[in-house]
Amino acid sequence: MDFAHQLVQQLINGVSLGSIYALIALGYTMIYGIIKLINFAHGDVYMVGAYIGFAAVTIGNMPIFPALLISMALTAVLGMLVERIAYKPLRHAPRISLLITAIGVSFFLEYTSMYFVTPTPRTFPEVIPNISFDIGGFIVNGQQLMIFGITIILMALLTYIVQKTKLGKAMRAASFDTETAQLMGVDSDKVISMTFCIGSALAAAAGVLVGVYYNTIDPLMGIMPGVKAFVAAVLGGIGILPGAVVGGIVLGVVEALVSGFISSTFRDAAAFAILILVLLIKPSGLFGKNTNEKV
Amino acid sequence: MAMLEVKDINVYYGAIHAIKGISLSVEEGEIVTLIGANGAGKSTTLRTISGLLKPKTGAINFLGKNIAGMPAHKIVREGISQVPEGRRIFAEMTVLENLELGAFTRNDKDEIKKDLEMVFGRFPRLKERITQLAGTLSGGEQQMLAMGRALMSRPKLLLLDEPSMGLAPLLIREIFSIIVDINKTGTTVLLVEQNANMALSIANRAYVLETGRITLSGDAKELAASEDVRKAYLGG
Q: Given this model, what pLDDT does residue A138 score? A: 82
Average pLDDT, chain B: 94
The whole-angstrom separation of Cα B3 and Cα B24 is 11
Over its length of 295 residues, how does chain A's per-residue pLDDT go in tens digits? 588 888 889 999 999 999 999 999 999 999 999 999 999 999 999 999 999 999 999 999 999 999 999 999 999 999 999 999 999 999 989 999 999 999 999 999 999 999 999 999 999 988 887 788 887 778 888 899 999 999 999 999 999 999 999 999 999 999 999 999 999 999 999 999 999 999 999 999 999 999 999 999 999 999 999 999 999 999 999 989 999 999 999 999 999 999 989 988 899 999 999 999 999 999 899 998 754 444 4
Q: Given this model, what pLDDT does residue A295 score? A: 42
- In contact, A227 and A21? CB cutoff 8 Å: no
In this prediction, residues B219-224 reach a mean pLDDT of 92
What architecture (CATH level 2) is domain B4-233? 3-Layer(aba) Sandwich (3.40)
Q: Given this model, what pLDDT does residue A290 score? A: 57
Q: Given this model, what pLDDT does residue A89 score? A: 96
Q: What is the pLDDT of residues B96-117, one digit of tens each?
A: 999 999 999 999 999 999 999 9
Closest residue to B52, CB basis, from A173, A179, A291: A179
> Which residue ranges make up each domain of chain A?
18-127+137-221
Name residues whose C-beta falls within 8 Å of residue A115's C-beta, 6 or more positions apart in sequence: none
Q: Given this model, what pLDDT does residue A22 score? A: 97
Q: Given this model, what pLDDT does residue B37 score? A: 87
Q: Given this model, what pLDDT does residue A128 score? A: 82
The whole-angstrom separation of Cα B92 and Cα B179 is 26
Average pLDDT, chain A: 93
Closest residue to B77, CB basis, from A166, A185, A294: A185
Chosen for mutation from B67, B70, B90 (greatest number of chain A CBs closer than 10 Å) is B90
Residue numbers in B near A185 (CB within 8 A)? 73, 76-77, 104-105, 153
CA quadruple B85, B90, B94, B96: dihedral sign: negative
In this prediction, residues B210-226 reach a mean pLDDT of 92
Alpha carbon distances (Å) from B91 to A83, A179, A198, B96: 28, 14, 24, 12
Q: Given this model, what pLDDT does residue B99 score? A: 98
The whole-angstrom separation of Cα A289 and Cα A268 is 28
Are B90 and A294 a contacting pair at CB < 8 A? Answer: no
Res B14 pLDDT > 80? yes
Alpha carbon distances (Å) from A71 to A22, A68, A88, B54: 18, 5, 24, 41
Pairing of strands B65-66, B57-62: antiparallel
Are B77 and A166 a contacting pair at CB < 8 A? Answer: no
Are A172 and B71 a contacting pair at CB < 8 A? Answer: no
The whole-angstrom separation of Cα A248 and Cα A232 is 5
Residue numbers in A near B77 (CB within 8 A)? 185
Could you tell me the end-to-end alpha-carbon distance of chain B, in angstroms, rounded to an integer?
Answer: 37
Residue numbers in A near B51 (CB within 8 A)? 182
> Which residue ranges make up each domain of chain B?
4-233
Q: Given this model, what pLDDT does residue B236 score? A: 58
The whole-angstrom separation of Cα B139 and Cα B148 is 14
Pairing of strands B157-161, B80-83: parallel
Burial class of residue B217, CB neighbours in 10 A (0-12, 13-18, 19+): middle
Name residues whose C-beta falls within 8 Å of residue A265's C-beta, 6 or more positions apart in sequence: none
Report the run of H or E that residue B35 belongs to, with start and end: strand B31-36
Are B86 and A295 a contacting pair at CB < 8 A? Answer: yes
The whole-angstrom separation of Cα B65 and Cα B49 is 13
Q: What is the pLDDT of residues B176-211, one digit of tens each?
A: 999 999 999 999 999 999 899 999 999 999 999 999
Neighbours of A217 (CB within 10 A): 23
